[in-house]
Structure 1
Amino acid sequence: MVSGNQSLLQRSHASVWHPCTQMKQHEALPLVPVRRGDGVWLEDFDGKRYLDGVSSWWVNLFGHNHPHIKAAIVAQLDQLEHVILAGFTHEPVVRLSEQLSALTGLGHSFYASDGASATEIALKMSFHYWRNGGQHGKTRFISLKNGYHGETLGSLSVTDVDLFKDTYAPLLRESVQLPSPDWRLAEPGESAEQYALRCADRAEEYIAAHHAVIAALILEPLVQCATGMAMHHPVYLRRLRALCDQYHVHLIADEIAVGFGRTGTMFASEQAGIRPDFLCLSKGITGGYLPLSVVQTTDEVYRAFYDDSVARGFLHSHSYTGNALACSAALATLEIFAQQDVLASNRSKAAYLNRQLVDWADLPIVHLRNTGMIWAFDVTSGQAGFQQRFYQAVLQRGLLLRPVGNTVYFMPPYVISESEIDWMLEQTLGALKECI
């Protein structure tokens, strides 16, 4: 008899093309069929449980099957599931926009369904802003080395991860990458702050020479996630904000992965005391329940499009823009932040986990690092193929982690308990000893 797991595996192989995957690898590395989720746990059809140590690609903030977010979605189902947002509006999208503006100080919100689309919107808005202002030469974008901003053509143009980008290079706009302030690249004896300032000096050299043609600089504040959780000092953001102001270049903060408490503050930019011209949000905005992304921008940018001429408007749209169900999930997520002291609880859990990691000092790992509810370390020894071997080893132990090359990271849901942290670290340590 074919088990529930095997049946779903066979059907998935026959009909689903899975993302970010060489499908042939699943001949040897089976997919994991998930039946249900609860808190930090996922469960397959045979009853085996897996601790979701990566928040299901960094989206799940408050655990699977959360009653408050579920109830908000169900309540909205009784009112309105969706309506075209061109020419119409509805209560959830208005309330969400108001609450986001109160949190960030940015005046207007433009909605889409995923992070890459948010990047596309911000890039197009910046380009069109300068065009509406008569500065037709400001058409170029700069980003950081090893940065990741999505895989649509516009977002891939400002991404610097060869594995994703090289194949599609003939389709992409040329962009320039500035040195990454990733503190792992600092010289011996050079602090994270000193290295960040040195990178900012390099950025100034380029921006000063080319600002007349630069529309915007896009970066991931504090943590470049897809390149192995590369972390940098907040002083870099302060310097880049000042440079963008001085040379009239937009600053786009891609907080798709790092927003909503993930770095220890509600938004990573807060730790530098800056406000970007465009703020891209997605992933955790709905607590991981429904697809939604938003680009927030300043009233100044909004006013540049406000005109009698249709062509000067921002003529960009997605069918499910501002979906009422997704907005309701986002509002419920913000209610949890407002009603519970989530950031303080996260600080306590982060401190606890960091204390447990003190005993890992003798392992063959380097750059053990933490920002908020993100931890990472780099494995320095072991045979080739560490990434896949480690993934399989922890999966066998009931733990979902997805290394980036030789970088292992934790990004668990905020509801993880101390005992679950202990169990996660125990399984990770056991898998490391098998694989290095």
Structure 2
Amino acid sequence: MLDRLDEPMNLTQPEEVTSFQDEVSLTQMDVESLWHPMVQHKKYERTPPKRMDKANGCYVTDSEGKEYLDGVSGLWCVNVGYGRTELADAAREQLVELSYFPLVMSHSPAIKLAAKLLELLQFEGKVHFSNSGSEANETAFKMARQYHAQTEGSRRYKIISRYRAYHGNTMGALSATAQAERRAKYEPLVPGFLHVHPPYCYRCPFGKTYGSCNIECASSIENTVIHEGAETVAAIIVEPVISGGGVIVPPDEYLPMLREICDRYGILLIFDEVVSGFGRLGKMFGHQVWGVKPDMITLAKGITSGYLPLSATVTQQHIFEAFLDESDPTSHFRHINTYGGNPASTALSLKNIEIIETEQLPEQAAKMGAYLRAELATLEDHPYVGDIRSKGMLLGIELVADKETKEPLPGNKVGAIVSYCLEQGVIIGRNGSTVPGLSNVLIIAPPLILTKADADLIVAKLKEALNSQI
């Protein structure tokens, strides 16, 4: 969630020109008609939300003509930047050729995209399309449960995820999500979802220090499997880097250890790469940073750079083959999505991936992410900066009121820092609506086309914002 600081609009001023009348009309319609996500609307009675009208590259322009550097890529998705006419052209051409047909049959863009994804992932397997990361994860959970039922005849149904992780907002995906504020008032949720401690070195739940620990954040998951009964656990789902929960980067040993645990107990390993996919962490896919191969991968956001809705659940071939049994009328995957794999979305995705490859954006993310991290190092001595974490073009700055005790900086001050940056023309994020009292991590995840000048602007405005709250 992005905190906003919106300038009040005086609706009582004389209406002098048609454009101003139109602006007032749109503002009124917004407040009267739209239910915006992740925000308390009471404030919109005083201050209507900003409206963005244009965008190009790393920048968006609001209805008053003010330009902002988008330091979070929309919702961490506009990997190739805004205003790519070649993406619009790809979608338009496909809409003219074949606007829609469900994948109970087939069409060329979906076929080509599925093949391309498997090529990039170096997978022998299958691709199932949906519209969002939430739906991709729902699909993975259903596949995992059915897979075990049809290979072992077992009641493996439990899904293990980590505290602070976000996996979506549909009821199953929200059940995997372990952020108390997002779950509040929607419980009870779907049974069978368990949560374990994250690999959070800055606030190690085991009281250890990296370098003198045994990676208990991983080994403790094996203890959970044993105590729950391995025969009941279907899958473990993790983001390579916990993103919305505060950019929590695991120790290098962590993901290989998870792979070993899953192999030892016959558990499927699902990587949620909704944020980390398509170059964000400095490789085409996040798991490639650690050289660990999952059984299933969920993809969204960067798959189209946010230009159209699309997501994918990719499985290894042995999982797909468990669904091949004509003697059992319930053995096929009984799950359909009206818009999943839409021709325009898949055609656009192919062009998006072409841009990512041609412009070497994963390499660019690694290079510029390292530059941005080095520049942010100048903030490490600031009294409010407790920890800076990064991987590629995904960076988190944890703010504290006291460096010794690691007491989190109060939410109003964190919000004021985000708002100051917005006033100064730089959009940054924070881990809002996660854990009570711990929404204190600033998030920077700009488009992968970021320049040094753009990075310098982010750092400069962030310094000003931090100093404004002392």
Q: Tell me if both proteins adopt one fold, taking TM over 0.5 as the criterion.
A: yes
Q: Would the aligned equivalents of 1:196 and 1:236 in 2 still touch at CA under 8 Å?
A: no
Partner AA of 2:350 in structure 1: L
Shift of 1:106: 4.2
- Match for residue 428 of structure 2 among 401, 422, 436: 401
| Larger mean Cα displacement after TM superposition, 257-266 or 385-394 | 385-394
Gaps of 5+ in 2: 1-14, 402-408, 432-438
Alignment partner, residue 423 of structure 1: 457
Alignment partner, residue 224 of structure 1: 242
- Match for residue 376 of structure 1 among 396, 420, 428: 396
- Match for residue 138 of structure 1 among 139, 152, 156: 156
Corresponding pairs, count: 433
Alignment partner, residue 354 of structure 1: 373
Alignment partner, residue 44 of structure 1: 62
Whole-angstrom distance in 2 between the partners of 1:400 and 1:333 = 24
Partner AA of 1:416 in structure 2: L
Q: Would the aligned equivalents of 1:76 and 1:324 in 2 still touch at CA under 8 Å?
A: yes
Whole-angstrom distance in 2 between the partners of 1:214 and 1:324 = 36
* TM-score where L is the length of structure 2: 0.88
| Larger mean Cα displacement after TM superposition, 169-178 or 409-418 | 169-178
Aligned positions of 1:5-404 closer than 5 A: 5-86=23-104, 88-104=105-121, 105-186=123-204, 190-191=209-210, 197-209=215-227, 210-221=229-240, 223-308=241-326, 309-364=328-383, 365-381=385-401, 384-404=411-431
Deviations 1:361-394 (A, max 9, x none): 3212011121110111111136551233223222
| Larger mean Cα displacement after TM superposition, 383-392 or 348-357 | 383-392
Partner AA of 1:331 in structure 2: L
Shift of 1:307: 2.0
Secondary structure at 1:385's aligned position in 2? Answer: helix
| Larger mean Cα displacement after TM superposition, 355-364 or 367-376 | 355-364
Judged with a 3 Å threshold, the aligned counterparts in structure 2 of structure 1 residues 182 and 3 are, in CA distance, closer, same or farther, namely: farther
Partner AA of 1:371 in structure 2: K
Q: Would the aligned equivalents of 2:387 and 2:399 in 1 still touch at CA under 8 Å?
A: no
Partner AA of 1:373 in structure 2: M
Secondary structure at 1:120's aligned position in 2? Answer: helix
Shift of 1:243: 0.9
| Larger mean Cα displacement after TM superposition, 410-419 or 383-392 | 383-392
| Larger mean Cα displacement after TM superposition, 147-156 or 399-408 | 399-408
Q: Would the aligned equivalents of 1:241 and 1:276 in 2 still touch at CA under 8 Å?
A: yes
* TM-score where L is the length of structure 1: 0.95
Report the identity percentage: 29
Shift of 1:322: 0.7
Gaps of 5+ in 1: none
Q: Would the aligned equivalents of 1:183 and 1:196 in 2 still touch at CA under 8 Å?
A: no
Judged with a 3 Å threshold, the aligned counterparts in structure 2 of structure 1 residues 3 and 189 are, in CA distance, closer, same or farther, namely: farther
Q: Would the aligned equivalents of 1:5 and 1:46 in 2 still touch at CA under 8 Å?
A: no
Whole-angstrom distance in 2 between the partners of 1:316 and 1:257 = 24
Judged with a 3 Å threshold, the aligned counterparts in structure 2 of structure 1 residues 85 and 156 are, in CA distance, closer, same or farther, namely: same
Q: Would the aligned equivalents of 2:370 and 2:392 in 1 still touch at CA under 8 Å?
A: no
- Bigger helix share: 1
